[in-house]
Structure 1
């Protein structure tokens, strides 16, 4: 299966083979954050160095900022709601509910873009 880079990022696939998941468990389990040390399919190192995924915090921050700004725009400009408590609950609610998904997506984006792992197409 030949996935594009964007599809591999969104599906949390290994950047080298794009077949197996980076993570050991599902998104809404208690171990949602655990990453395989090596890809089960191609044996690619998914933890390039100690503390590598700390940089994914910046990606997560950007995603959360986009969510908050999007919600604020919809509520203030389109729906014309100016109540601060409504705005905060509408912005924080999706962030809390989507936290495991955002966490995993930010790690996947960071590994694909900064990890230095090239796609090895099957022959």
Structure 2
């Protein structure tokens, strides 16, 4: 039995307790629904620990947006060397924020559950399967 690496499980939005079950329904840029499962399909962990728990994910998403905005501004400056036009930077930041919104939605919840939830711990005995999906 091999254990699923934490980085692989986070990148693929797997359950933080068993690292096997999917946290979300559908793909990241799915035009249908992009919802989180109520329970892990593998270990039955209830993802929303308490009512309104994922409101805290808004703050994580805000931090991700700020970091992305700084990165986008730096990349725009390095590519264009334009310091005169605030509209260039405003447009690029808005476009980047809109394009990265589905990623922020998902990974703000993933980061909240993996790093900021002391009630949820990895349990290796639940990380069982005949296949190793990360190889």
What TM-score comes out, normalization by structure 2 length?
A: 0.81
Q: Distance in 2 between matches of 1:51 and 1:15?
A: 19
Bigger Rg, structure 1 or 2: 2
Deviation at 1:104, TM superposition (A): 0.3
- In the alignment, which residue of structure 2 is the partner of 1:109? 111
Q: Distance in 2 between matches of 1:121 and 1:39?
A: 15
Unaligned runs of 5+ in 2: 129-135
Listed as ranges, the matches of 1:40-119 within 5 Å are 40-76=41-77, 79-82=80-83, 83-115=85-117, 116-119=119-122
Deviation at 1:78, TM superposition (A): 5.6
Q: Distance in 1 between matches of 2:11 and 2:124?
A: 19
Unaligned runs of 5+ in 1: none
Length, aligned pairs only? 122
Give the root-mean-square deviation of aligned CA atoms. 1.7
What TM-score comes out, normalization by structure 1 length?
A: 0.89
